Amino acid sequence: MKSILYKLFFGKPEYNRPEKVSAYRLLRINLASIWNNDKHHDIGFEKILRLFLVSIQIIFLGIHVRNFFGKFGTIKRNVAVEFFVLFKTMLPILFMFTGLYHFKIAVIISIYFLTETLCYVASLIFASDIFVKPRSYRRNILMLFFNYMEISFCFTVVYAGLHLLGEKKLSVLDYVYFSIVTSTTIGYGDLHPAVPLGKVVVCIQAIVVVAFIVLFLNFFGSKVETMHYDEE
């Protein structure tokens, strides 16, 4: 069973080469590369945005997960990152169905992971040249799906934890339903924010999701098309 699981998650052992550069050192290299315009002659707001998206990684858990598991090899690091993304996707659902969303700390944690995901997606778009070419763009699109669901579920915790849909009693499914419907920009109108802050959060979620879908799918669509031509 152990060998089967190893084969399933890690493939061939020879693929699992140890990381030559730690995630922390790579972060410093990328910051220096952007600052010195080694790859692009970006200036002004573009350069500020790229520097921000790279430097802010240090406050999120993702880079620390990559740095720790990178010691065990590239493949094991990638699998650890996948489980971390899955964990972030399921955590807000756990908050909802256990009733922990009533505690403000659950809302704060959800906003923290939500911010990490949004910064990561933005960095793939605006600072993609600093990333090593992934083993599979299809894997990244799969991660995109989890990121998309994580965004919806994190907003669910925000709506429920801050009572943004009013004080009337709503089920967990109602909050999940409202967030996903908002994420799809459908907006049936059967549920709606009852306080001004709720309207602000809905606007933020709608803008975030539209930008997420349009920019990210367009970016990876071109990557997959390029990969398809390369394979041919």
pLDDT digits (tens, 9 = 90+) for 20-45: 778 888 888 888 888 888 777 778 88
Looking at residue 230, what is its pLDDT? 45
Looking at residue 130, what is its pLDDT? 58
Tokens of 74: 């590239």
Residues contacting 117, CB < 8 A, separation 6+: 88, 147, 150, 151, 154
User: In the 3-class helix/strand/coil scheme, how is 91-109 assigned residue by residue?
Assistant: HHHHHHHHCHHHCHHHHHH
Tell me whether residue 9 is exposed, middle or buried, using C-beta atoms within 10 angstroms of its C-beta: 0 to 12, 13 to 18, 19 or more.
middle
d(CA 39, CA 42): 9
SS3 content of the chain, % helix, strand, coil (to 5): 80, 0, 20
Please list the ranges in the chain whose pLDDT falls under 70: 1-19, 128-137, 215-232
Looking at residue 137, what is its pLDDT? 64
d(CA 31, CA 119): 15
Tell me whether residue 88 is exposed, middle or buried, using C-beta atoms within 10 angstroms of its C-beta: 0 to 12, 13 to 18, 19 or more.
buried
Please provide the DSSP assignment of 191-204 as one string. S---SHHHHHHHHH
Counting other chains too, the contacts that 135-140 makes at CB distance below 8 Å and 24 or more residues apart are: 135/78, 137/220, 137/223, 137/224, 137/227, 138/224, 140/220
d(CA 217, CA 13): 32
pTM for the whole structure = 0.84
Q: Give how far Cα 45 sits from Cα of 48, 50, 131, 220, Å.
A: 5, 9, 21, 24
The pLDDT > 90 percentage for the chain reads 35
Looking at residue 232, what is its pLDDT? 45
What residue has token string 């599979």?
136
Looking at residue 71, what is its pLDDT? 83
Domain boundaries, given as residue ranges, for the chain? 19-231
Strands (DSSP E) contained in the chain are none
What residue has token string 């699992």?
16
Please provide the DSSP assignment of 152-177 as one string. HHHHHHHHHHTTTT-SS---HHHHHH
